[in-house]
Structure 1
Amino acid sequence: MPLPSAEPAPDSDVYRTLLESTKAIPWRIDWKTLRFTYIGPQIETLLGWTPDSWATVEDWAARMHPEDRERVVNFCVSQSQAGTDHEADYRALTAGGGYVWIRDVVHVVRKEGEVEALIGFMFDISERKATEEQLLTLQQELEALSYRDGLTGVANRRMFDTVFDLEWARARQNRQPLSVILADVDHFKEYNDHYGHLAGDDSLKLVAQALGSAAARARDFVARFGGEEFAIVLPEADAAAGSLIAERCRQAIAELAIPHAAIGGRLSISLGVGTLIPNAEDDPRRFLDQVDGALYAAKDRGRDRVESV
């Protein structure tokens, strides 16, 4: 949506209403004077500063976190001088002394080859940054602490619960699909009874490795859910992708060709898979129960198969 080249005129009430009813905060700076010629009233709701207190770019720079100021100001000035559209993330000071993460998206307006003005939108990205920081902290904890299953080397149930909750929140915030797979080794008690628990442990290690290879996107996450059951979290995977990866997991175990003499065949797994775009009414535990129900349906319908919620 184009922005006004100056503060909207009195006869632009509809246009002004559209601009000022968005959550994004529109603004315009005259390049020659480096003064704000317009900033949306939403700025006061977000940061507490009145629109008329934003007079010059000095006010913008002064209300930036000291750790961000030099980097962001230098970047924005250089990009603007070059006539290049750009965006920058930084922490903006509130009137109450706190900070809010802002993303400034900037369009450089040129006239006869010269920079005339900067126009853009400020977006509140605090929730997104909080999620990113949580994920970073989680990764650091994973490196510093033992959240891995001691037998198979994949993540343990505790780590699964943490990652699942974070990915659920992220999917809900960004309105993106989240898929989860629950997989269980078929006739595992019989395998242990026939071959012994050490052989059973070895087979679980092979299953875990095969699942990790089958669910190999950057953010795919494999965990031992308990006993001979595994869980896989698939961020940004729709139903088709979730089912495809579940079938790939099933085939990966089949290709291991681990003998299972107790049933006269080979070791296999049954899988349940579910997908949704979470909203405020959805319950993550109920969703996991539904995926678990799909897993048991796969067991009831003959094992070595995938069933979907």
Structure 2
Amino acid sequence: MRNTGDIFMNKPAAGAAHAREESESAFDFDPDVYRTLLESTLAIPWRIDWATMTFAYIGPQIEPLLGWPQDSWKTVDDWAARIHEEDRQRVVDFCVSQSMAGVDHEADYRALTRDNGYVWIRDVVHVVRDEKGEVESLVGFMFDITERKKSEQELLDMQRRLEALSFEDGLTGAANRRLFDRQLKTEWKAACRYGTTLSAILIDLDHFKQFNDRYGHIAGDECLIRVAAALGKAGRRPRDVIARFGGEEFVILLPETDAEAALYLAERCREVIGELQIPHESSPCGSMVTASIGVGTTTPTIEASAREFLTGVDRLLYAAKQAGRDRIVSDTI
């Protein structure tokens, strides 16, 4: 390795040379002191010769941090090979383009350790030019930002959990009305744009007030939890939304689903609720919990509205109740 003071102060531009002369005069510059300062900091100093793309210097701090010996950092290929494969192309392309343009820059990436782990690094790079303005070398510092990245990730995870909770029904774990309304609006716009169908299923547990009166509200909550779980296993796809609509009502939003497929899923929902065999001795519909279901399908247009569609599905649910409950009523809207 070359002398640290020579490496970092070699071939400065005219202005930099003048500044160095003033600095040396004012502080009685000593290369050994400079080396000590560089090698005692937690940051890892380095210098790359631009013409040969080789390391002129890298601080000894690199070995305790990553495990790779100081003298193993010979070329930029060694640096690139020790970047996590998921970050490598992005970081290399960015740093090369910025360096060629003569622009100071910084990059965050995962550096591989010798024992197959990784450390988050922030590389801060300064481009050194010669008297002609040509790129002569790159000098910089590597900083270990692993703890900072962990804190950022923890904060991001917390934000995601809070967001998920804001869209989740606190009792059943199904989506809540807020999420349903948002997705209905989104899917309605998408269906208008692409001319696809949209279906919705409204499910109301029959005579649920009588259930609560007979078995108590704790049992009623447990019933809702079990029904929500059963509906979640009835055949939903990734874009489908199963939400608690309010009280003992659930709604299922079905993008790109025709009337036949929606009716099939509604029948399956009615079956899985029946398979739970939850006793309901106070129900005129039978001895077990049952459900009335309305199923509506439409091809959205900009002239119509999602609210009107949902009102139409609610009317179908009401028709199922009026017809004696424990049944399905479906139609196109």
Could you give the per-residue CA deviations for residues 95-142 of structure 1, whole angstroms, max 9, x where no partner exists? xxxxxxxxxxxxxxxxxxxxxxxxxxxxxxxxxxxxxxxxxxxxx688
CA displacement at 1:255 relative to structure 2: 0.8
> Does 1:243 find its partner at 2:263?
yes
What is the aligned partner in structure 2 of residue 287 from structure 1? 309
SS at match of 1:203: helix
Describe the SS at the equivalent of 2:250.
strand
Matched, 1:300 2:322: yes
The sequence identity of aligned pairs, in percent, is 55
Q: Does 1:205 align with 2:225?
A: yes
**Do 1:215 and 1:221's aligned partners in 2 also have CA atoms closer than 8 Å?**
no
1:229 aligned residue: 249
Structure 1 residues 157-176: aligned runs within 5 Å: 157-176=177-196
Q: Is the alpha carbon distance of 1:301 and 1:215 closer, same or farther for their aligned partners in structure 2, counting shifts above 3 Å? A: same
Alignment of 1:191 with 2:211, yes or no, is yes
How big is the shift at 1:262?
Answer: 1.2
For the Cα contact (< 8 Å) 1:270–1:295, is it kept in 2?
yes
Larger Rg: 2
Q: Name which of 217, 220, 235 aligns with 2:237.
A: 217
Alignment partner, residue 150 of structure 2: none
- The DSSP-based 3-state class of the residue aligned with 1:275 is strand
Structure 1 CA distance for aligned equivalents of residues 287 and 293 of structure 2: 18
Aligned equivalents of 2:303, 2:272: Cα separation in 1: 36
Structure 2 gaps of 5+ residues are 1-89, 94-159
Q: Secondary structure at the match of 2:253?
A: strand
C-alpha distance after superposition, 1:176-235 (max 9, x if no partner) = 111001110001000000000000000000111111111421211100000001110011
**Between Structure 1 and Structure 2, how many residues are aligned?**
174
1:172 Cα shift?
Answer: 1.1
Q: Which amino acid aligns with 2:193?
A: Q
Q: Which amino acid aligns with 1:242?
A: A
Q: Distance in 2 between matches of 1:222 and 1:142?
A: 19
Q: Per-residue deviation at 1:145?
A: 4.6
- For 1:197, the aligned partner's letter is H
Q: Distance in 1 between matches of 2:228 and 2:167?
A: 15
> Which amino acid is the alignment partner of residue 146 of structure 1?
S
Change (3 A) 1:292 1:215: farther
Query: Partner of 2:233: helix, strand, or coil?
Result: helix
Q: Distance in 2 between matches of 1:142 and 1:259?
A: 36
Q: What secondary structure does 1:214 align onto?
A: coil
Structure 1 residues 283 and 144: alpha-carbon distance in aligned structure 2, compared to 1, 3 A threshold:
closer
Stretches of 4+ aligned residues off by more than 6 angstroms: none
Aligned 8 A contact 1:179 1:274 in 2: yes
Change over 3 Å in CA distance of 1:183–1:142 after alignment to 2: farther
Q: CA separation in 1, counterparts of 2:202 and 2:187?
A: 16
The aligned counterpart of 2:290 is 268
Per the TM alignment, residue 260 of structure 1 is displaced from its structure 2 partner at its CA by 0.5
The DSSP-based 3-state class of the residue aligned with 1:257 is coil
Task: Report the 3-state secondary structure (helix = DSSP H, G, I; strand = E; otherwise coil) of the residue aligned with 2:297.
Answer: strand
Q: Residue by residue, what CA displacement relative to the aligned partner does 1:83-104 show, whole Å, maximum 9, x if unpaired?
A: xxxxxxxxxxxxxxxxxxxxxx
The residue aligned with 2:166 is 146
In 2, Cα distance between the equivalents of 1:235 and 1:280? 16
Partner of 1:277: 299
Aligned-pair CA distance for 1:160? 0.7
User: SS of the counterpart of 2:226?
Assistant: helix
Distance 2:161 2:307 in 1: 24
- Residue type matched to 1:165 in 2? K
Give the SS at the match of 1:166.
Answer: helix
Is the aligned partner of 1:182 residue 2:198? no
